[in-house]
Amino acid sequence: MSEKNFEFEVEPLLYEQIKKPIREITDIVLLIIEVLSYIMWKPVGLQASSGLKIVISKMRRIFFVFDKKSFSVAMPFYIKQHEDGNLEVYDNNIILDSKILSYVKSIITNMDFNNFANVDLDLAIQDEYLSEREKKDARYVFYKLITSEYGYIRYDDDLIHESGLEHPRYHLDVNYSNGVTFKLALLDKKEYDWLKDLLDTTTQCKKIVD
């Protein structure tokens, strides 16, 4: 599969979403919904050192790239670019549009995930403004988003909180939940290409030297 790269400038409203801390899966899911809604109207930009980058190849990942902090999560859907430059997000013969994304966002925002086992999703998706096909598609998109494995990883250049190997200036934070997150110290500053290469299973592995 040939690699496809899509890059976008980040508008202030999306940047505010990106800055929010990620502590649970709903934080990732809501951010992905914002990103998908954003790229449906935002033109693909020219290659730049920072911003929003989406890579579709053997890996499918979204990268949020900034000077001192970058992070990446898996992209659960596929992207196709039409001849006019517009992007289409799809999966399992479903084309995601702003209506479905907005509805799924509303469900996730208002749902009590602490009581998820008792949630009646069919009841939650009852809406007179959705056709039966749209309800079915919304159900699929919802489950795809909350059951995907996202492989969260963040690169930090944190001079302010640097404290030896307890909190090295350059490091990777792997996973987001308190019980499973861990850091890997880096010897020097890293750029986007290094992080992308780290996550690309078709390239050579990075070495951990201890």
Kindly calculate the radius of gyration of the chain based on its CA atoms and give it in whole angstroms.
Answer: 18
Model pLDDT, residue 134 = 86
Number of domains in the chain: 1
Is 123's pLDDT higher than 60? no
Q: Judging by beta carbons within 10 Å of its beta carbon (0-12, 13-18, 19+), is residue 120 exposed, middle or buried?
A: exposed
Is the Cβ–Cβ distance between 76 and 19 less than 8 Å?
no
Q: Which own/partner contact pairs does 9-18 have at CB distance under 8 Å and 24+ positions apart?
A: 9/42, 9/45, 9/48, 9/51, 9/52, 10/51, 10/52, 11/38, 11/42, 14/38, 14/52, 18/64
Instruction: Tell me the average pLDDT across 96-125.
Output: 74
Residue 143: which residues within 8 A CB-CB, separation 6 or more? none
Percent of the chain with pLDDT over 70: 90
Whether pLDDT at 91 is above 90? yes
Listing DSSP states for 114-165 in one string gives GGGGG--HHHHT--TTS-HHHHHHHHHHHHHHHH-----EEEEE-STT-BTB
118: pLDDT confidence band, cut at 50, 70 and 90? low
pLDDT for 116: 57
Q: What mean pLDDT value characterizes the chain?
A: 88
More confident site: 140 or 209: 140
Q: Is the pLDDT of residue 117 over 60?
A: no
The pLDDT of 22-51, averaged and rounded, is 87
Q: Which residues of 80-103 are buried (b: 16+ CB within 10 A; e: fewer)?
A: eeeeeeebebeeeebebeeebbeb
Chain-centre distance for alpha carbon 90: 15
Kindly report the number of other CB atoms within 10 A of residue 57's CB atom: 14
Per-residue pLDDT, averaged over 146-154, amounts to 95
Q: Decide if pLDDT at 124 tops 80.
A: no
Mean pLDDT of 67-87: 93
Q: What's the rounded mean pLDDT across residues 105-111? A: 82
Domain that holds residue 20: 4-199
- What tens digit of pLDDT does each residue of 47-62 get? 666 789 999 999 999 9
Mean per-residue pLDDT for 89-107? 91
Say if residue 76 is exposed, middle or buried (CB neighbours under 10 Å; 0-12, 13-18, 19+): buried
Looking at residue 46, its pLDDT comes to 64
50: which DSSP letter? Answer: S
Residue 205 lies in a domain: no
Residue 210 domain-assigned? no
Which two three-digit tokens encode residue 159?
């001079």
Closest to 27 (Cα-Cα) out of 158, 152, 154, 172: 152
Is 177 within the bounds of a domain? yes
Q: Which residues pair with 154 in a beta bridge?
A: 71, 173
Evaluate whether residue 101 is within a structural domain.
yes
Task: Give the model confidence (pLDDT) of 172-186 as tens digits.
Answer: 999 998 899 999 999
| 99 domain residue, yes or no | yes
Which H or E element spans position 54?
strand 51-56
Judge whether 190 lies within some domain: yes
Please report the pLDDT score of residue 132 as a whole number: 83
